Amino acid sequence: MARTHYFPGDRVHYVWDNELEPVLEVEPGDTVVYQTREVSDGQITPDSTADALATFDWDRVYPLSGPVSVRGAEPGDVVEVEVVDIHTLGWGWTAVIPGFGLLPEDFPDAYLKIFDLTTGDYTLFKDDVRIPVEPFFGTMGVSPADTTEKPVIMPPGPFGGNMDTRHITKGSRLYLPVQVPGGLFSCGDAHAAQGDGEVCVTGIESPMYAALRFGLIKGRQLRAPQFVTPGPLTPKSEGAGWYATMGVGPDLMRATQDSMRAMVDHVSATYHMEPVEAYVLASLAVDLKISEVVDRPNWIVSSYLPLALFR
């Protein structure tokens, strides 16, 4: 019969390493219950100010709960991870970290905002702006095959990892191509909210409770992760319309930056925010979309702002 396991809160790792001994070994069909740390591993607290960002110990960033070995998983198989339940543990933070994000030259100064997540399905960004709370793990992955140099967590890969894909929330199923025997699954970097793009390099980073059910699909070849969602992608934002800004040009990254700069300008002027506030709001709620890539020489990237944010 399927079992429920409880992952120990004191077992984390900060790099991908397939030489780590699994903390748990589970059978396909088993569920693992987690209580994960926020991405700074306690360096940011509900009482922190932006000064804390200046003393970040980057060796402690991205504490992952894992690894979990799935019995019978071999390279050439797929580990299925079903998000049975996930919810925050009451608070979270968002920051502009100098040198990171989509627009580091535009926003060179540190900025930190703390959020109260005890208020239900929404949290306040400002008195008249509320962010839907839709928790997910920014990082879920199996161990890559080559960890000779012990790669850091931040870049994703075909094994999954730091994908920051906000639609892999409760009820979703993630499919990860197994790289090493057992798969060696880990998770962390949980977000209470995030827009597609995570443009300022943080969502609402939060400690999180989750229950994940593991499955195994033998002999299914995948080149990269895939996932299925249970319903609408943005159920809390779809009813009030959208405002979109476009970036047009021959380079997708430059078009993305142009689109986001236009969105920051729009939000700042329309809703009377400082530009850094507009940038952070975009990281939490604005969705980047590639509108077209077939009309050479120029492509279009659009930034979609859900109008449901504003009261």
- For the chain, the domains span 4-228, 238-309
Q: What are the φ and ψ backbone dihedral angles of 255, each rounded to 5 degrees?
A: -65, -40
CB 71 within 8 A of CB 214: no
CB 265 within 8 A of CB 282: no
CATH 3.60.60.10 for domain 4-228, yes or no, is: no
pLDDT tens-digit map of 227-244: 999 989 988 988 899 999
Residue 258 DSSP code: H
Q: Do domains 4-228 and 238-309 have the same CATH topology?
A: no
Query: What was the pLDDT predicted at 196?
Result: 97
pLDDT tens-digit map of 99-139: 999 999 999 999 999 999 998 899 999 999 999 999 999 99
Residue 306, CA distances (Å) to 175, 178, 195, 198, 287 in order: 29, 37, 10, 15, 9
CB 104 within 8 A of CB 153: no
Evaluate if residue 149 carries a pLDDT over 90.
no
Residue 18 tokens read as 């397939």
Q: Can you tell me the distance from the alpha carbon of 307 to that of 285, in angstroms, rounded to the nearest whole number?
A: 10
Q: Can you tell me the distance from the alpha carbon of 290 to that of 303, in angstroms, rounded to the nearest whole number?
A: 9
CB 3 within 8 A of CB 30: yes
| CATH number, domain 238-309 | 3.10.28.20
Burial grade of 20 (CB within 10 A; 0-12, 13-18, 19 or more):
middle
Confidence at 226, pLDDT banded by 50, 70, 90: very high
